[in-house]
Amino acid sequence: KQILVINGPNLNLLGKREPGIYGSQSFEAYFETLQATFPDVHLTYFQSNHEGALLDKIHEFGFVGDGIVINAGAYTHTSVALGDALSAVPAPAVEVHISNVHAREAFRHHSYLSAKCKGVIVGMGLMGYELGIRYLVSL
Ligand code: DQA
């Protein structure tokens, strides 16, 4: 199976950014652990701080791949376009948030992606990505 992990804005700073909230591990290091955890899965990783680049990637992968794990960062709470893109492609998606967005500011409680995803994982740290992949592989 081919699974794509997508991280949106500011998630390139994982490990350096607010470590009390997001932890001290970089995503690149964690991604190597993920690849080792799923040796039979063709896992790829894409990060961008640009909404259009995230859209292009969903369009490109979403018709050929088997599943998408997406943490759209702050675009989660603002982007109708990312929600539409997930609706437009056949690949199933799982939404992940490292922090428990429901325990934070009210503007983080709404997601334009959740209704377009098979499921949502919040507040479980980086493990959320592993759980999302595990689910998509099981489909
Ligand atoms: C986040 C939560 C968002 O509200 C925030 O804007 C992020 C990270 C998370 O993984 O917890 O950038 O998606």
pLDDT score for 71: 98
pTM value is 0.97
Q: Is 22 a catalytic residue?
A: yes
77 is in an annotated binding site: yes
Which residues are near ligand 1 (CB < 6 Å)?
Answer: 10, 71, 73-74, 76, 97-99, 101, 108
Q: Residue 116 contacts by C-beta under 8 Å, 6 or more apart in sequence?
A: 83, 86, 87, 93
Asked whether the predicted pLDDT for residue 123 surpasses 90, the reply is yes
- What is the fold, at CATH topology level, of the domain defined by 2-138? Rossmann fold (3.40.50)
- Judged against a pLDDT cut of 90, whether residue 23 lies above it is answered with no
- How far apart CA 5 and CA 31 sit, in angstroms, is 9
Domain positions in the chain are: 2-138
Q: pLDDT digit string (tens) for 50-97? A: 999 999 999 999 999 999 999 999 999 999 999 999 999 999 999 999
The amino acid that residue 123 corresponds to is G
ipTM of the complex: 0.99
Closest by CA position to 113, among listed 88, 90, 80? 80
Mutational pocket test of ligand 1: of 18, 101, 104, 121, the residue with most ligand atoms within 8 Å of the beta carbon: 101
What local confidence, expressed as pLDDT, does residue 29 receive? 94
Query: pLDDT digits over 80-91, tens only?
Result: 999 999 999 999
Q: Which of 75, 97, 112, 129 is catalytic?
A: 97
**Average of per-residue pLDDT values in the chain:** 97
Could you tell me the two tokens for 121?
A: 């994982």
Of the candidate ranges 10-19, 41-50, 103-112, the one whose mean pLDDT is the lowest = 10-19
